[in-house]
């Protein structure tokens, strides 16, 4: 019996590592497919690729109506998470996740059961972001972002300046569900739990 429990624990650990590795590859492929262009005539600081948005730059100008249909409490949580991630503070970003919670990026559903899981998930996200809009419908608040570089990541690359959307379920001031939204504005279909 003890041997069976040990074997099950090892299998769960291996599957968790494989899942996180798969998510990293999926994120890299997704960002590479985003495309993007840079304006070689901009005034980027030395060593900064033209057209990139740095994590400490001012957010883009916001449309006053961009948050009119969003739950204020949800927006506060999402903005706090976004600001922490953009600053490269993985521990602070992870602290916004409920335990347990789920994160879904395409067909991969990640179960976040521990603080380490939350840190691992946030660390896999190569980009930071500015929150530029949100809308709440039912239990979901869908947030719109402009992607940026973030300290401590492998780099956002061509994703910088690109728009992205994520649907959140916020429960008791924490992110209970984080789901990447397809281009058609709908959450992707549920993926396989690993």
DSSP assigned state of 179: E
Tens-place pLDDT, residues 147-161 = 999 999 999 999 999
Tell me the pLDDT tens digit for each residue of 52-77: 445 556 666 667 689 999 999 999 99
Q: Tell me the average pLDDT across 39-53.
A: 39
Helices (H), the chain: 2-34, 72-86, 90-94, 115-124
Spans of all domains in the chain: 2-34+54-193
pTM: 0.68
Look up tokens 């990447």; give the residue: 180
pLDDT at 106: 82
Residue 163 φ/ψ, nearest 5 degrees: -85, 150
Of 43-52, 70-79, 160-169, 182-191, the one with minimum mean pLDDT is: 43-52
| pLDDT for residue 97 | 98
The predicted pLDDT at position 57 comes to 62
- Fold for 2-34+54-193, please state it: Nuclear Transport Factor 2; Chain: A, (3.10.450)
Whether 170 and 162 have beta carbons less than 8 Å apart is answered as no
Is residue 142 predicted with pLDDT exceeding 50?
A: yes
């Amino acid at each position: 019996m003890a041997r069976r429990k040990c074997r099950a624990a090892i299998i769960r650990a291996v599957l968790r590592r494989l899942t996180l590795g798969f998510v990293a590859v999926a994120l890299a492929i997704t960002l590479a497919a985003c495309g993007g262009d840079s304006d070689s005539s901009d005034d980027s600081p030395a060593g900064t690729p033209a057209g990139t948005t740095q994590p400490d730059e001012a957010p883009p100008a916001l449309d006053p109506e961009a948050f009119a249909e969003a739950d204020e409490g949800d927006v506060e949580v999402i903005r706090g998470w976004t600001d922490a991630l953009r600053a490269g503070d993985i521990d602070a970003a992870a602290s916004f996740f409920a335990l347990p919670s789920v994160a879904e990026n395409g067909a991969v559903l990640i179960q976040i059961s521990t603080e380490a899981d939350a840190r691992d998930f946030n660390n896999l996200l190569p980009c930071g972001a500015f929150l530029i809009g949100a809308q709440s419908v039912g239990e979901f608040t869908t947030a719109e972002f402009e992607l940026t570089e973030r300290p401590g990541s492998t780099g956002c690359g061509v994703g910088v300046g690109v728009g992205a959307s994520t649907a959140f379920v916020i429960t008791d001031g924490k992110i209970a569900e984080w789901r990447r939204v397809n281009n058609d504005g709908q959450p992707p279909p549920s993926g396989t739990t690993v």
